[in-house]
Structure 1
Amino acid sequence: MTIWEMLAVLAAGIGAGAINAVVGSGTLITFPVLLATGLSPVTATVSNALGQVSGAISGAIGYRAELTGQRRRVIRLSIVAAIGGISGAVLLLTLPPTAFETIVPILVAIALVLVILQPRIAKAVQRRRTRKGTPVHPDGGPLLIVGLLLASVYGGYFTAAQGIIYVALMGMLINDSLQRLNAVKNVLAAVVNSVAALFFIFVAEPDWTAVLLIAVGSAIGGQLGARYGRRLPPTALRALIVAVGTVAIVQLLLRRYG
């Protein structure tokens, strides 16, 4: 890499770390930059996954206040995320690159619709539970487990918009504030990135310069994103998620069909 390419990757890492802490989809910042430096799609994906581990952990630490009282939930969902993450990492090295490219924009679009409708859906689910006398599961129940498992498989494979899908699923099935769920999302993303990274270290060939630059940048960005993202009211956070997700869909479609 030239010095300018290295600066571009570092800047992309900072931006990705910040946006991941608040919303998700930071990969859509780093991935195109890595490709522009001449890395192959698989090498770029592997290097990005390794580099963003520090940013995911940084964002989770930044949201530690919102994690208070959620230990049981975080442990339970993290186990599911780890299983899905390692499965997705294996798929990345065994399936053709086009395998998920068609379905990913559809998944993100569905997630955005769910984020928009989440308050109404959550109220409807609560009314139904009250009417039938069904207790509220603090961790979302089996439906959330299955949804997060599938989302984590995708996260281990590519990671773009993974956080948006997490927030959409938890927002519908867990009765808690959006900021507290966003904090859990950061932990789950850190788990998925970490297990995928450990797998890639042994079986793939990352570009270690890119990994180091993204790691430093995303760690800085994670703290910045957490610092300011925690101050956003639910409506503003939801609007930001939708805005970033829309950009993600456009970029994914351009990458697939452009």
Structure 2
Amino acid sequence: MTLTLPALAFLFVAGVGAGLTGSIAGLASLVSYPALLAVGLPPLTANITNTIALLGTTAGAAAGSRPELDGQWSRLKVLCAITAAGGALGAALLLYTPPGVFTIVVPFLIAGASILLFLGPHLRKSAGPAHGIGPASGVAAFGVAIYGGYFGAAAGVLMLALLSTVWAQSLARSNAAKNIATGAANFIAAVVFAFTGKAYWPAVVALCLGSVLGSWIGPSIVRRVPATPLRIVIGLAGLGLAGTLAYQAFAV
């Protein structure tokens, strides 16, 4: 297929929106994946194209989050190694397994993560401060990365909920770490997908350029918005997405 110039412009704008929502709330695919379907890409091609294109979100968010990432790189190296491995496994699952199981389970994962995001500060107080990646949180991060490599919608919500619970730091710093951790999973999945021949590269370029711009702006918004209202908005958006995906999975 061949996309027209207006269709590519539409994907660029969608990329800006995906970059904003991804860097702020971890919901980039909520914008970008439907946009790819809207211009006529088949679901599997759209998913693979989306994963590669959203590497721009990681690049833009990293550039825009330098103050929040300061002092976090030592533990992020460990976290990114875990999520990169999970992303590779998720990509393999997408290519070689039927999607039925994930279609059913994903809404519950996202709903659970959204609720966990609401409760994160209280759970963190109960558990006490944590500064690294323990066995339990490492396994959880690996699981989130598998899902991120497989499909990725709201993978950032899952990761933000996890980091907000186990790391004693501001929401803005946890959000910046989330962008890097999910980006590592996305990068490995994108490398796998790039060699399948199923990506639609004009759409990748248009969406990626837009996502770089949107995700570069996003961290400055997180930096200025009070944490509690932002946490509530992200959690509600996650619950809304969970409800939509549940309806799609179970509607007869």
Could you tell me the TM-score, scaled by structure 2's length?
A: 0.94
Tell me which amino acid in the other structure corresponds to 1:112: S
2:122 corresponds to 1:120 = yes
Superposition pairs of residues 127-206 of structure 1, within 5 angstroms: 136-206=129-199
State how far apart, in whole Å, the 1-side matches of 2:133 and 2:185 are: 19
How far apart, CA to CA, are the structure 2 residues paired with 1:123 and 1:137?
A: 10
CA distance in 2 between counterparts of 1:83 and 1:246 reads 28
Q: Which whole-Å CA distance do the structure 1 matches of 2:175 and 2:236 have between them?
A: 16
Structure 1 residues 43 and 54: CA distance shift in structure 2, 3 A:
same
Map of 2:34 onto structure 1: 32
Once the two structures are superposed, residues 172-228 of structure 1 have per-residue CA deviations (whole angstroms, 9 ceiling, x without a partner) of 112222111111001012211111111111124200111011111100111121222
Query: Any idea what SS the aligned residue of 2:102 has?
Result: coil
2:59 and 2:185 map into 1 onto residues whose CA distance is 11
Pick the aligned partner of 1:23 from 19, 22, 25. 25
Match for residue 219 of structure 1?
212
Q: Once the 2 structures are TM-superposed, how far is the Cα of residue 251 of structure 1 from its aligned partner?
A: 3.1
Structure 2 unaligned runs (5+)? none
Q: Does 1:11 align with 2:13?
A: yes
4+ aligned runs moved over 4 Å, structure 1: none
Write the mapping of 1:53-132 to structure 2, written as runs, cut at 5 A.
53-126=55-128
Map of 1:252 onto structure 2: 245
Q: Distance in 2 between matches of 1:92 and 1:23?
A: 24
Q: CA deviation at 1:257?
A: 3.9
Aligned-partner SS, 2:101: coil
Using the size of structure 1 for normalisation, the TM-score is 0.92
**CA deviation profile, 1:13-72 (whole Å, cap 9, x unmatched):** 110001111111110111112112221111101000111101122112211111111111
Q: Secondary structure at the match of 2:235?
A: helix
1:207 pairs with 2:209: no
1:137 positional shift: 4.1
How far does residue 120 in structure 1 lie from its aligned partner after superposition?
1.3
C-alpha distance in 1, partners of 2:8/2:78? 38
Q: Report the aligned-residue RMSD.
A: 1.4
Conserved? CA contact 1:53–1:190, under 8 Å: yes
Kept in 2, the 8 Å contact 1:28–1:251? The answer is no
Counterpart residue number, 1:131 = none
More moved, 57-66 vs 151-160: 57-66
Of 234-243 and 50-59, deviating more is: 234-243
Aligned residues: 249
Aligned to 1:132: none
Look up the equivalent residue of 2:109 and give its one-letter code. Answer: L
Whole-Å separation in 1 of the counterparts to 2:249 and 2:33: 14
What percent identity do the matched residue pairs reach? 35
**Which residue is equivalent to 2:48?**
46
Tell me how far 1:162 sits from its aligned partner: 0.6
